Amino acid sequence: MVAPPPPPPVIEIRAAKVFVGDRLKIDGQLVEAPWRWIGHSSGPPSQLWLPLDLLIGRFGFHQSSQSNGQQLQWYGNKASLNSLRQITLEDEVALNVADWLSASGMKMRRQKNILSVELLKPRLNGLRQGNGSMSKRLVLDLSGPALIQRIGNNLLLNLQATARQRGQMQALGLMAKQQRNGLMLIGQAEALSSLTLNKPWRIVLDGIGNRPEATNLRSSLLDPSIQALIRRGLVFDTKVVTVGVKPLQITRVGTDLSKQGLILRPLTQIGHQQGLRFLNQLAHPAGALIAINGGFFNRARQLPLGALRIDGKWFSGPILNRGAVGWGPTGHLSFGRLQLQQELQGPGGKRWGVTTLNSGYVQQGLSRYTRAWGPFYRALSGEENAMMVSKGRVVQSFGQRELKRGVPLKRDGDLIVARGGAPLPATPGETVSLRTKASDPLGELPQVLGGGPLLLQNGQVVLAGRKEGFSSSFLSLAAPRSVVGQGGGKVWLLTLKGTRGSDPTLLETGLALKQLGLREGLNLDGGSSTSLLVANQLVVTGRGTPPRVQNGLGLVLR
């Protein structure tokens, strides 16, 4: 009698585990950044979530604008950002890049709260420089993929170059040093943009010949233009203030604008509001000697999320009654919480509320866009209709398909966008009127910048972040901070970081400002966006990588 076959093996189903941490070791370089690993205890992750800014600043991912929106690219992998699922890690937009990194041959492993990632260093097979209009382009042919890390003001290419190849770079104006962890291009973190390609493996560097910059506070202090301001009373220093038991390192610039011949200017891209830039790319066109990063923005869509008013024109309106600062020709700063009350009166006298102006903050109802937004408006949500208002009359209407492609914005017109099923108030040919009023007098001043939460008023801590629409997790978060303040007859631009790895909370930031004698203070976008530029040199960064930001504040000589 033949024995029956054995039963099939029991299939073991193991649930994937979630591991999180706050440090990365990238080819030996330790970086503070949140990460999330989903997978089993052994083997590679099924999902690896990393902040978008980290991928751009420390891996070499390239983000660009395409006709269908923002695109992310890295060594042959391309995807529309709209098609990629996004989550929030602390205050960062994060993407799942497990498959992208695995395809490059990257080794990934966890050890407690530290995630280590490593690529074998490829050889530099050759260099090719462009001609004519492409003369500022340098193509590096590689034997495999390499990481591109922006560390301070330097650009680290994790590859091996010969002495002859380094000499070729030197002839092009690049100071190249071969180190154990790769090829360091001194002072080129913000001067050069990069793109990675495969088949064959290549790194494309654009901006060859731009002046390299030094990286430290001391060299900024020695700059003749800064020395001249210091002789006239400018304060530029770094000091440690202890809040409770937590020591905080504060780098600050303080100035009496009128006595030192300086004006404070909002910094942004003129012509269109979508896009991010390194801080020096915003400061240099405006002639700003000193600059700090500004208000909040959507990192994935690269759109503003708060008040930005320049010379009396709203480039982006305030949202959620958040903190803001405004000023006029005297340079005296006014601090408060700000809303923009917009009302549209349609046919028959019916009134409609308009929630936002030139904003990446998307919600149901009516929103308004002007030419300050840019030459075109493209839909920011799935269900939108719009009408163009010019000289008090509706001149055109647009459906979802037209808005998805993009519609031109008139210099003398207002585009009213209806989202989430909201009806349009009028049809072409009908008469309408628009009224706009700021909730606080500071909103009527010619220059306004939004941030939040408001930290200090009249020398007292006034932190009330929930009233400004901030989440409880954001309010309790410890992170590097950027602040604009006023006190002792001076306007202050400040950054705050922990000296022992523990950064300040918002409350600790307010208490530190009070210790310094400030009367008013407004929190700006912090975390990885934190950056302070002096004499075109980046002296502070939040996470050690030069960030790209949407706007900033700059001190400009009259």
- Are 344 and 305 in a shared domain? no
Separation CA 180–CA 159 (nearest Å): 10
- Are 548 and 445 in a shared domain? yes
Residue 492 CB burial class (10 angstroms; 0-12, 13-18, ≥19): buried
pLDDT at 187: 83
Question: Which position has the higher pLDDT, 109 or 191?
Answer: 109
- Are 459 and 315 in a shared domain? yes
Question: Which position has the higher pLDDT, 189 or 497?
Answer: 497
User: Which amino acid type is present at position 374?
Assistant: G
pTM greater than 0.85 (yes/no): no
Question: Which position has the higher pLDDT, 88 or 371?
Answer: 371
330: Cα separation from own chain's centroid: 30
Final residue before a domain boundary, out of 67, 95, 118: 118
pLDDT at 214: 39
How many CB atoms neighbour CB 438 within 10 A?
A: 22
* Residue 237 clears pLDDT 80, i.e. is over it: yes
Please say whether the beta carbons of 484 and 290 come within 8 A: no
* Residue 543 clears pLDDT 90, i.e. is over it: no
Please say whether the beta carbons of 57 and 24 come within 8 A: no
For range 265-269, the mean pLDDT = 96
For range 476-504, the mean pLDDT = 93
Buried b / exposed e along 465-490 (16+ C-beta atoms within 10 A): beebebeeebbebbbbbbbbbbbeeb
Strands 262-267 and 69-74 turn out to be: unpaired
For range 205-233, the mean pLDDT = 75
CA distances from 312 to 265, 308, 377 (A): 12, 10, 22
Asked whether residue 3 is assigned to any structural domain, the reply reads: no
Q: Express each pLDDT in 351-396 by its tens digit.
A: 999 999 999 999 999 999 999 999 999 999 989 999 999 999 999 9
Buried b / exposed e along 226-239 (16+ C-beta atoms within 10 A): beebeeeebebeee
pLDDT at 553: 98
User: Which amino acid type is present at position 315?
Assistant: F
- Are 44 and 189 in a shared domain? no
Separation CA 81–CA 298 (nearest Å): 12
pLDDT at 212: 44
- Residue 429 tokens, joined: 């040919």
355 Rama class: left (phi>0) / alpha (psi -120 to 50) / beta: alpha
**Does the bond joining 200 to the residue before it have cis omega, within 30 degrees of 0?**
yes
Share of the chain above pLDDT 90, in %: 74
Please say whether the beta carbons of 32 and 21 come within 8 A: no
Separation CA 10–CA 15 (nearest Å): 16
The residues pairing with 249 across neighbouring beta strands, listed in sequence order, are: 240, 497
The residues pairing with 482 across neighbouring beta strands, listed in sequence order, are: 495
pLDDT at 213: 40
242: Cα separation from own chain's centroid: 29
pLDDT at 550: 96
- Are 331 and 452 in a shared domain? yes
Final residue before a domain boundary, out of 396, 418, 438: 438
- Are 415 and 519 in a shared domain? no
pLDDT at 31: 86
pLDDT at 96: 96
* Residue 145 clears pLDDT 70, i.e. is over it: yes
* Residue 215 clears pLDDT 70, i.e. is over it: no
For range 49-57, the mean pLDDT = 92
Domain extent, residue 386, equals 340-438
Q: Express each pLDDT in 269-295 by its tens digit.
A: 988 888 899 999 999 999 999 999 999
* Residue 20 clears pLDDT 70, i.e. is over it: yes
- Are 449 and 551 in a shared domain? yes
Separation CA 553–CA 83 (nearest Å): 33
- Are 330 and 451 in a shared domain? yes
Average pLDDT taken over every residue of the chain: 91
22 Rama class: left (phi>0) / alpha (psi -120 to 50) / beta: alpha
Three-state DSSP at 322 gives strand
For range 500-515, the mean pLDDT = 92
Please say whether the beta carbons of 343 and 352 come within 8 A: yes
For range 241-262, the mean pLDDT = 94
Residues in the chain, overall count = 558
pLDDT at 219: 65
For range 512-536, the mean pLDDT = 95
The residues pairing with 131 across neighbouring beta strands, listed in sequence order, are: none
Please say whether the beta carbons of 456 and 510 come within 8 A: yes
Final residue before a domain boundary, out of 177, 206, 235: 206
CA distances from 405 to 181, 301, 331, 408 (A): 45, 16, 42, 10
- Are 136 and 190 in a shared domain? yes
Asked whether residue 107 is assigned to any structural domain, the reply reads: yes
* Residue 60 clears pLDDT 80, i.e. is over it: yes
pLDDT at 43: 83
User: Which amino acid type is present at position 8?
Assistant: P
SS3 per residue for 275-297: CCEEHHHHHHHHCEEEEEECCCE
Q: Express each pLDDT in 326-363 by its tens digit.
A: 999 999 999 999 999 999 999 989 999 999 999 999 99
pLDDT at 217: 60
Asked whether residue 408 is assigned to any structural domain, the reply reads: yes
Here the CATH number for the domain that contains residue 421 is 2.60.120
For range 200-210, the mean pLDDT = 89
